[in-house]
Structure 1
């Protein structure tokens, strides 16, 4: 059988099994519902707050923005998966299996993407019932689909890059704090135009803002564009920025992952396990 076909079949099977397990394990199932539930509670309290004088409500602005923000967290989820499996030796076992690394990575893409889609649905369905002022029709779903697909293409390879750079999940803590800072300046819970100009430029460097903007363009009425930068949904710019991040991640991830895999050995896994036991002790 063709090696690529073998890797695809193994990766698809691995990803489906891990995704199914994530919805049958109590702790992971709880995490799937916790974050959407917290966002729904937030939406409840801000749903009727007005934005400007055009009749737009903060709840309507925030709902699609939160969808984009949650989709961007695929980067953190992918990095956490890689570092956790690196610590417990799962990555080493994948490396030792024929075509194991491509199958492993495909499985993680399916796991993270599938879990993310489920989380978005868990949030979106009650959110649409709670929030007024959305414009959801046949034209909304294609825009949601391409923004989500391009956003995942931009963020998942970046997550693999982060997972290959940090030897443990503890090392990702700083990245998570920086990510929260980026969320704070990306216009998720208020228009980006409310920030100083220099902060607006910084926010527009990162995928979070553009994924939120793309989701807003799909779910908000045309009049809502008045609160956006340049009073435009800027689809071409969205494609350009997310595409640039996707290209960067796809160029860096294979190189860094190969280097990380070459450095994995039984002794390195044992050393990390010993350090973890010392911290616990």
Structure 2
């Protein structure tokens, strides 16, 4: 077997094992269920609040947008995993194994992608029963969800790998999360972007959050809901274009940054980070 293919196969198996463990560990399971349950509660109370004169409930508009946001936030999950594994030496051990970095990254992609799909299902299935106005009866909606999800992950995961290579400690993740929360606020996730000032609309449309939310809304909302969007259009080609640009940028930059990060990893650097972590804990 080709060594690279063997590494991919090993990474796939490792990813499935880690994913299965995350669903059998009580702590991980509670953490996975907490935010979806909070979101479902919020959607329940928003189900009767309408947006302007559109007749659409805020909860109906917010649900697809939040699903798109979760796809984009997969970059944070990838970054957190990389920084945690750098600190405890897991990444160094992968580097020391032939094609180990390939298998390591494949495993993390499986873990993050599989966990994301599970999180989306935890939200969507119950929401279909009490969020009014959702439209997911035809195959077209499922096809749209599929390509938006795949393209969104291709755009988000390499960027997460870049961020995980730049930041050396899990405690530095706040430097990533806070700016992302700001972008989410101006990306039409919780309120239609067409109702925001013009310059805010341009800022929000420069990043993947808005387009992932728009793609999910086009799949889950009835056709009339397009009236509250920019240009009264679902803009599928623009969605493909923007997400494609981010995906290409991530795929070009991520291998370079990851190689540089792997070259800098050594036993002494891992020991130094571990010692600093122990001093902070003490």
Fold in common (TM above 0.5): yes
Residue 54 of structure 1, CA deviation: 2.7
Q: Which residue of 1 aligns with 2:39?
A: 39
- Normalised by the length of structure 2, the TM-score is 0.98
Range that drifts further, 80-89 or 28-37: 28-37
- Normalised by the length of structure 1, the TM-score is 0.98
Query: Unaligned stretches of 5+ in structure 1?
Result: none
Q: Which residue of 1 aligns with 2:273?
A: 272
Q: Which residue of 2 aligns with 1:122?
A: 122
Q: Which residue of 1 aligns with 2:53?
A: 53
Output one character per residue of 1:33-61: Cα deviation in whole Å (capped at 9) or x when no partner.
Answer: 01100100110111111112231111111
In 1, Cα distance between equivalents of 2:174 and 2:52: 37
In 2, Cα distance between equivalents of 1:271 and 1:224: 55
Q: Which residue of 2 aligns with 1:13?
A: 13
Range that drifts further, 142-151 or 47-56: 47-56
Q: Which residue of 2 aligns with 1:250?
A: 251
Q: Which residue of 2 aligns with 1:151?
A: 152
In 1, Cα distance between equivalents of 2:161 and 2:122: 26
Output one character per residue of 1:92-119: Cα deviation in whole Å (capped at 9) or x when no partner.
Answer: 0000111100000000000000001000
Extract structure 1 runs of 4+ deviating beyond 3 A.
none
Q: Would the aligned equivalents of 2:75 and 2:156 in 1 still touch at CA under 8 Å?
A: yes
Equivalent residues in 2 for 1:121-270, closer than 5 Å: 121-138=121-138, 139-270=140-271
CA RMSD of aligned residues (A): 0.8
In 1, Cα distance between equivalents of 2:177 and 2:133: 32
Range that drifts further, 178-187 or 145-154: 178-187
In 2, Cα distance between equivalents of 1:6 and 1:99: 9
Q: Which residue of 1 aligns with 2:100?
A: 100
Q: Would the aligned equivalents of 2:54 and 2:228 in 1 still touch at CA under 8 Å?
A: no
In 2, Cα distance between equivalents of 1:167 and 1:51: 43
Residue 5 of structure 1, CA deviation: 1.4
Output one character per residue of 1:236-260: Cα deviation in whole Å (capped at 9) or x when no partner.
Answer: 1100000000000000100000000
